[in-house]
Amino acid sequence: MRRILVAGNWKMHGSRAMVKELLNGLLAGTRNASEVDMAVFPPFPYLSEAQTLLAGTSITWGAQTLNPIAQGAHTGEVSAGMLLDFGCSHVLVGHSERRTIYGESDEDVAVRFEAALAAGLEPVLCVGETLQERENGETESVVDRQISAVLKRSGIGGFERAIVAYEPVWAIGTGETASPGQAQAVHAFIRHKFVSQDDIIAGQLRILYGGSVNGSNAADLFAREDIDGGLVGGASLKVEDFLAIRNAVA
Ligand code: 13P
- The pLDDT of residue 123 is 98
Domain that holds residue 168: 4-249
* Residue 211 beta carbon below 6 angstroms from any ligand 1 atom: yes
What is the per-residue pLDDT for 1? Answer: 57
CA–centroid distance, 49 to ligand 1, in Å, is: 22
175 CA: nearest ligand 1 atom: 4
C-beta 233 within 6 A of ligand 1:
yes
- Residue 64 sits at the vertex; the CA angle it makes with 59 and 65, to the nearest 5 degrees, is 135
Q: What is the CATH number of the domain that holds 23?
A: 3.20.20.70
Cα 168 to ligand 1 centroid, rounded to whole Å:
10
Q: Which atom of ligand 1 is nearest to the CA of 165?
A: 10
CB neighbourhood size of 222 (10 A): 23
CA of 71 to the centre of ligand 1 (A): 30
Q: Atom 7 (ligand 1): residue with closest C-alpha?
A: 233
What's the pLDDT score for residue 31? 80
Q: Using a cut of 0.95, tell me whether the model's pTM lies above it.
A: yes
pLDDT single digits (tens) 70-113:
999 999 999 999 999 999 999 999 999 999 999 999 999 999 99
Active site residue 167: yes
36 and 246 in contact (C-beta within 8 Å)? yes
Q: How far is the CA of 81 from the centre of ligand 1 (A)?
A: 26
Q: How many domains does the chain have?
A: 1
Q: From the CA of 171, give the closest atom in ligand 1.
A: 4
- Residue 187 is a catalytic residue: no
| Ligand 1 in reach of 229 Cβ (< 6 A) | no
Q: Indicate whether residue 155 lines ligand 1 (CB < 6 A).
A: no
Q: What is the DSSP string of the chain?
A: -PPEEEEEE--S---HHHHHHHHHHHHHHT-S--SEEEEEE--GGGHHHHHHHHTTSSEEEEES--BSSSSSS-TT--BHHHHHHTT--EEEE--HHHHHHS---HHHHHHHHHHHHHHT-EEEEEE---HHHHHTT-HHHHHHHHHHHHHHHHTGGGGGG-EEEE--GGGTTSS-PPPHHHHHHHHHHHHHHHHTT-HHHHHH-EEEEESS--TTTHHHHHTSTT--EEEESGGGSSHHHHHHHHHHH-
Low-confidence ranges of the chain (pLDDT < 70): 1-2, 33
CA 98 to chain centroid: 13
Q: Which atom of ligand 1 is nearest to the CA of 214?
A: 2
